[in-house]
Structure 1
Amino acid sequence: MKKLCFVLLSSALLLTACANNQSKQSNTSDSSKVTALSEDKQKMLDKATADYKTFVQEQIDKLLTDTEGFVKLLKEGKLEEAKKVYPLIRMSYERSEPIAESFGESDVKIDFRLADYMDENKTEEGWSGFHRIERILWEDNTTKGTESYGDQLVNDIKELKAKIATVDVDYKVMLTGAVDLLNEVATSKITGEEEIYSHTDLYDFRANIEGAEKIFQLFKPLLEKSDANLVKELEADFKSVNSLLDKHMTDKEHYKLYTDLTKEDTKELSEAVTKLGEPLSQMGKFLSGE
């Protein structure tokens, strides 16, 4: 960022020097051009943020519909069917975490792991959400006891949906969110800590990558005007991570258990995510600068 500021400062000094030898009319013309470019950029940013809010709302709508179906399976005692759809349902939430997680109270109710909940509350009393149900399904190997948690989960998602409808999405939130999604992968998905009972971490891994890639795609028209090489690098790095994840799919929807991966597999994934994170974090300087 310091380097960018230096370039901008140098450019400003150069323009000032040139202005001393130009007419007032020329100055006015140049000023109008800069303003026009800024307005054009703002329109593109506004479109990106509006489209992103629509994307997140669509993901939460899907999350709600799928969770209602999931709870129906729980109440019918269909254990294996519930286990099979559990990781697929969660992907909608994982894709939309930059906005969903901003509502801390809802995130605690919907997506908190036991370890995180215990850190804050020192007891598991009151712990709910997907991971509460996950533990019962895999540790107790039954749907009994999940029914009330399922109903609460549906209500909590409805509450989150209502909150998201009122939020104003800022492009800076999107930029931070894209990087945060990769941090999620690096700190909990790549270690297998997110889904400690079901070991379905690769679904979350993919969804986080898809969420970050969606943000990149929305900013891509702007980035292409600023740094086409950065765009190419990001496209290549996203392709690399997705190709690695494809290797661990068992069919068109499902993935291997995380515990089935070798140390070499996890190392390969970790390195690919780290490589992607570097150019992804550079998006901000091109979108923030005029």
Structure 2
Amino acid sequence: MPEISHRDRDRCCVAGIGVALLLSLGDVRPAGALDAPASTRIARAARPIALDLAAALAAYKTYVVGQADAFVRETARFVAAIQGGRVAEARGLYAPARAPYERIEPLAALFPDLIKRLDVRSDEFELRERDPAFVGFHRLEFALFALGTTEGMGEFAERLAAETVILRDRMTAVAIPPAKAVGAASALIEGIASTKISGEEERYSRTDLWDFQANIEGSKVVFVLLRPLLDDHAFVARVERSYKRIEDLLARYRAPDGGFQSYDNLTARDRNALKGPITLLAEDLSTLRGRLNID
């Protein structure tokens, strides 16, 4: 029997890579989740999708559903702390609750109505923080970190928990367009470069570095699943170096508890040091769709 090439072996194992990535990010899903038909549904393209690409997309769908499920669980813990009036605990659970969402944010954007209730910032409202329509994570972030209280937040917290379940159910049922799945790799990094590097996302908690790390993780999952399909080895090596460089930079700001320091601790020079490789990586990843001939 002829020996199977390393490249062909990689292509045959992309689904397994997806499962390994889930485990490496600490995601624990219910038994049997990998076998659920809904978790491997892919969109029908205008032309047939190559089997190796279809396998990568199916593995990514499994990852996305796993992260959506983790989002429900982690948010439930966060909400329970708020409802119990435990300010310090709720503060500590805020960033970990958001991390699964941050890993799949471009896919969550398939449901803009939900995003407006989950992740809207006060800038969107005339009365800003005092506007009754200001709800979701950032409304609770404001109460916890700017006001130092959970008072009056029970209803907001309960509503947030319900919205995460709706998002999880929709993510499970949706057929993710291939272009959207592949584009998530660059979209996650572009989001850091275009807006998050300024610190506007987590303006009260200053947990921005948690978001950066989750965005990098979510982007890298897409790239690793698609890597066996890429013929340009120089491109692959460059992208891998960029990920490594950014991960090393972020590691400098790790806190003793395994989390991250406040974003306020970073100087303008520190932020610029991050922005350079992040921008370069975003530019490279933006070519993935073209390299894979996905419209």
Q: If the length of structure 1 is used for normalisation, what is the TM-score?
A: 0.81
Where does 1:1-16 land on structure 2 (aligned, <5 Å)? none
Q: Label 1:67 to 1:230 Cα distance change in 2 as closer, same or farther (>3 A).
A: same
Q: Which residue identity lines up with residue 258 of structure 2 in the other structure?
A: E
Q: Which residue identity lines up with residue 107 of structure 1 in the other structure?
A: I
Where does 1:172-211 land on structure 2 (aligned, <5 Å)? 172-211=179-218
Q: Which residue of 2 aligns with 1:282?
A: 287
Q: Percent identity?
A: 33
- What is the RMSD of the two structures over their aligned residues, measured on CA atoms? 2.0
1:265 to 262, 267, 270: 270
Q: Which residue of 2 aligns with 1:251?
A: 256
The runs of 4+ residues in structure 1 deviating greater than 4 Å are 119-123
Does structure 1 residue 72 correspond to structure 2 residue 80?
yes
- Report which of the two structures shows the higher radius of gyration computed on alpha carbons: 1
Displacement of 1:121 in angstroms is: 9.8
Q: Label 1:131 to 1:95 Cα distance change in 2 as closer, same or farther (>3 A).
A: same
2:61 to 53, 56, 65: 53
Displacement of 1:125 in angstroms is: 2.4
Displacement of 1:161 in angstroms is: 1.2
Does structure 1 residue 157 correspond to structure 2 residue 199?
no
Displacement of 1:153 in angstroms is: 0.5
Asked if the contact 2:209–2:263 (Cα under 8 Å) also holds between the matched residues in 1, the reply is: yes
Provide the aligned length of Structure 1 versus Structure 2: 248
Structure 1: gaps spanning 5 or more residues: 1-37
Whose helix proportion is higher, 1 or 2? 1
Q: Which residue identity lines up with residue 204 of structure 1 in the other structure?
A: D
Q: Which residue identity lines up with residue 98 of structure 1 in the other structure?
A: P
Displacement of 1:278 in angstroms is: 2.2
Distance 1:190 1:199 in 2: 12
Q: For residues 49-98 of structure 1, what are the alpha-carbon distances to aligned partners after superposition, in whole Å with 9 as ceiling and x for unaligned?
A: 11111111111111111111111111111111110110111011000112
Q: Which residue of 1 aligns with 2:221?
A: 214
Q: Label 1:70 to 1:166 Cα distance change in 2 as closer, same or farther (>3 A).
A: same
Does structure 1 residue 129 correspond to structure 2 residue 131?
no
Q: Label 1:42 to 1:120 Cα distance change in 2 as closer, same or farther (>3 A).
A: farther
Where does 1:89-168 land on structure 2 (aligned, <5 Å)? 89-115=97-123, 117-118=124-125, 124-168=131-175
Distance 1:258 1:252 in 2: 16
Asked if the contact 1:50–1:169 (Cα under 8 Å) also holds between the matched residues in 2, the reply is: no
Structure 2: gaps spanning 5 or more residues: 1-46
